[in-house]
Amino acid sequence: MDALSMPENRLLEVRGLTVRFGSVVAVKDLSFHLDRGETLAIVGESGSGKSVTALAILRLIEYGSQGVIEAGEILFRRPDGSVVDLVRQPERVLRGIRGDAISMIFQEPLTSLNPVYTVGNQIAETLVLHRGISWDEAMETALEMLRKVRIPDPERRLRTYPHEMSGGMRQRVMIAMALACRPSILIADEPTTALDVTIQAQTLELMRQLQEEFGTAIILITHDMGVVAETADRVVVMCRSEFVEEGPVGRIFAAPQAEYTRLLLDAVPRLGSLADTPYPKPFPLPGAEAPAETAPPSDRPVLEVDGLVKRFPAAGGQVHAVESVSFTLSAGETLAVVGESGSGKSTVANLVMRLTEPTDGAIRLLGTDITGLSHRAMKPHRREMQMVFQDPYASLDPRRTVGDLVGEPMRIHRTESRATVRDRVAELFGLVGLSPDQMRRYPHQFSGGQRQRLCIARALALHPRLIIADEAVSALDVSIQAQIVNLMLDLQSRLGLSYLFISHDMAVVERVSHRVAVMHLGRIVEIGPRREVLANPRHSYTQRLLSAVPVADPAARGRRGRSLAVGDIPSPIHPQGYTPPPVRLRAAGPGHFVAEE
C-alpha cells in the first residue's frame, strides 16, 4: 500500500507513532485508525500515554514541554479528500487544520477557557480565523452554536465570562467552540472527568446527538470504562506508553484478549453487581484469597448525628451547606454518604471531625456529645475517630519522613513511649501492606496508592473505632482503587472499624457499604440499607443519580431512558433570613427512609 493512501472511509490512520519527552518515551510504536462518523475510545490508566497521543495528533506536544515525535506517521484525510501526513506538515498547514478539520476539547473546562475573554469572543475567534467571516457574522454563528449545545439564555451567555458559568456549561461552551467549524474529527480528552455524574450523563448525550447531526468522528480519551461502554464503537487499550489491544467495544468487554484488559475490567466497580448480598465484598483481584463477604455489623452505635446544621455566609446570602442531617453508625458498619458537588457531604465529614463548627445539632461519639467541647476536652475523643482524605498527594506533609508522619499521632497523644513509637509504626506499615524499611523515605518517593496506604496507617495509629474516609479512593486509578477498597474492607473485618465513607461514586459505594445516605442540597433525601437504596430507590433524586451512572457494559447500552435535560446542580445559597422547609422522612421499608417531596 502506498504510504499516503487509505481506504475511502478512513479519516485518520496512525502508524508506529513514538513520542519522546527528553529521555522518557511517552508513546511507543502505537498504531490505530479512525473511520468516518465512528467513536473510538482510547483507554488507559494514568501514565498510559493516552493524552499524549491525543495532543500528538494535532502536533501540540511540541510546545512548552518539548515533546518530539520520533517515529511514525499520522495520515489524515482532509475535507477535500486529499491525504496528508500530519507528522511531516509545516506549522502553517497544521494551523489551518487545527480547530477547523480536527478540533479538541479538554478535561478541565475552567482552565481551558481564557478567563479574560467572553465566551462569545472565544467561539467567534475560531470562525473568523478559519472561515474568514466578519466578527458580526461570527458572533451570529457563535450564538447559533450555543443554541445547538443547548445552553439556556444563549444571547446573554454570549457576553459572559467563563468564571461566571458552571463546569457543565463551560464544557458545553468548549464543545460549541470545537464544533463551530464543523470538523471531521473531534478529539475529546477526558471530557467529563471533572463533571458531576448527572452533568456527565447530559454532556455525553449531547455529544452523541451532535455527532449524529454533524457527522463528526470522535476520538474519546478516557480512563472510565463506564463512559467507554456507553459511548464507544471501538476501543484501543493502552498501558505504560504501549498499545495493549484494539477491538469493537462489545468484544473488548465480553472477551478481552490481553491479560491487562482483563485485570482492568475486573477492577472496575459495576453498579448492581452486589445485588445478591447486603454486605460489602472485596474486588476479585489476583493474589487475594477468594473474596469473602465481610462480617455483619453489630448494632452498638459508634456515632450518632442528630439534626446537624451548618450555614455560612457567602456572596448574596447564606450557604445552607448542611440542613437537619441525622444518622447513626454502628460498630463494624460502613455508612456511605453519596452526593454531587455542593451536596454537603464533605461538610458532614468536617463537622463530625470537629474541623468545622456546626451551626446547630448534636454529634455523639460513643455516647458522648462532642459538639461544643473545647480543643483540650476534644483531644481524648479524637483518638476514637480519624480521617483519610481525598488527595494522597496533598494530605502528607512533604517535608517529613513517612515514618515520622505515621508516628505523629502517637507523639501528639503520647500513647507510646519514644522507644515503642518505632515498633508501632513498623507494625502499622505491615498492617497496610508497606515494608517497614521504607520508613525513612519522604512522601514524594511513593506512588498515589502507597500514599493512601500511609494515610490509612496514620489514621489507625491511635486504635480508632471510626474512620471517616472523605473521597478516599476517588483520586486513584481503578486498579489501585480496588486494592485500597480491599485493604479497607480487610482492616474493617480485622479491627472492627466503622467507616463513614464519603463518595460521589455509586459503584464504589456499592462495594464498601452496609448502608447508604444520599445527600442533595445539604439534606439527606434517602437513607437505608445499601441493597434497598440502590436496587429500589424511592426518592426522585436518587433515581436520577443512579440512572446517570455510566454502566460498564456495552450490552446494556440504550436500555435506560436518555435525557437531554440541561441542568445545573442547583445552588445551596439562599438569601439571608431564608428558612428552609423542614425535612420529613417517611419509612419505605425496614431502616429505609425517604424524604417527602
- 60-79 binders of other proteins (CB under 8 A): 60, 63-65
157 binds other proteins (CB under 8 A): no
Q: What is the residue-wise DSSP string for 135-162?
A: HHHHHHHHHHHHHHTT-SSHHHHTTS-G
Q: Residue 408 or residue 568: which is nearer to other proteins going by CB? A: 408
CB of 566 to other proteins, least distance (A): 23
Distance CA 221, CA 283 (A): 25
H or E segment and range at residue 364: strand 360-365
414 binds other proteins (CB under 8 A): no
394 binds other proteins (CB under 8 A): yes
State which amino acid sits at residue 327: F
SS3 72: strand
167 binds other proteins (CB under 8 A): no
Stretch that binds other proteins, among 94-102, 215-223, 540-548, 560-568 (CB under 8 A): 94-102
Which 8-state DSSP code applies to residue 297?
P
Cα 448 to Cα 286, 315, 402, 506: the distances in Å are 20, 36, 14, 22
Binding other proteins (rule: CB under 8 A), the pick from 447, 494, 564, 586 is 447
96 binds other proteins (CB under 8 A): yes
Stretch that binds other proteins, among 71-79, 216-224, 378-386, 545-553 (CB under 8 A): 378-386
* Residue 507: other Cβ atoms inside 10 A: 20
Residues 472-501 that bind other proteins (CB under 8 A): 479-480, 483
Residues 334-353 that bind other proteins (CB under 8 A): 353
159 binds other proteins (CB under 8 A): no
Distance CA 250, CA 478 (A): 20
Distance CA 116, CA 172 (A): 18
Dig out the grid coordinates for 96 from the structure: 489551518
Q: Residue 355 or residue 564: which is nearer to other proteins going by CB? A: 355
Binding other proteins (rule: CB under 8 A), the pick from 4, 254, 292, 412 is 412
Residues 223-242 that bind other proteins (CB under 8 A): 239-240
Q: Residue 41 or residue 186: which is nearer to other proteins going by CB? A: 186
CB of 146 to other proteins, least distance (A): 17
Residues 458-477 that bind other proteins (CB under 8 A): 458
Phi-psi region of 401 (alpha: psi -120 to 50; beta: other; left: phi over 0): beta
Half-sphere exposure of 452 (CA within 13 A, CB side): 23
Dig out the grid coordinates for 180 from the structure: 463551530
Which residue is listed with cell 519522613? 401
Q: Residue 400 or residue 584: which is nearer to other proteins going by CB? A: 400
Q: Residue 101 or residue 337: which is nearer to other proteins going by CB? A: 101
397 binds other proteins (CB under 8 A): yes
First to last CA, the chain: 65
435 binds other proteins (CB under 8 A): yes
Counting residues that bind other proteins (by CB under 8 A) gives 83
395 binds other proteins (CB under 8 A): yes
- Buried b / exposed e over 423-439, threshold 16 CB at 10 Å, is ebbbebbebbbbeeeeb
CB of 245 to other proteins, least distance (A): 12
* Contact yes or no for 575/548 (Cβ under 8 A): no
Stretch that binds other proteins, among 1-9, 405-413, 498-506, 532-540 (CB under 8 A): 405-413
Stretch that binds other proteins, among 106-114, 215-223, 415-423, 567-575 (CB under 8 A): 106-114
Residues 10-69 that bind other proteins (CB under 8 A): 55, 58, 60, 63-65
* Contact yes or no for 68/47 (Cβ under 8 A): no
245 binds other proteins (CB under 8 A): no
Distance CA 146, CA 172 (A): 8
CB of 414 to other proteins, least distance (A): 11
DSSP tally for the chain: helices H, then strands E: 20, 23
H or E segment and range at residue 558: none
Q: Residue 286 or residue 558: which is nearer to other proteins going by CB? A: 286
Binding other proteins (rule: CB under 8 A), the pick from 48, 51, 103, 486 is 103
* Residue 413: other Cβ atoms inside 10 A: 14
Binding mask 522-561 for other proteins (x = CB under 8 A): ----------------------------------------
Q: Are strands 67-77 and 334-338 parallel, antiparallel or unpaired?
A: unpaired
Cβ neighbours for 1, distance < 8 A, ≥ 6 positions apart:
none
Binding mask 111-130 for other proteins (x = CB under 8 A): xxxxxxx-------xx--xx
Q: Residue 440 or residue 559: which is nearer to other proteins going by CB? A: 440
Which 8-state DSSP code applies to residue 168?
H
- As a residue count, the chain comes to 597
CB of 124 to other proteins, least distance (A): 11
CB of 187 to other proteins, least distance (A): 8
Binding other proteins (rule: CB under 8 A), the pick from 378, 556, 573, 583 is 378
Q: Which of 534, 520, 546, 549 is CA-nearest to residue 589? A: 534
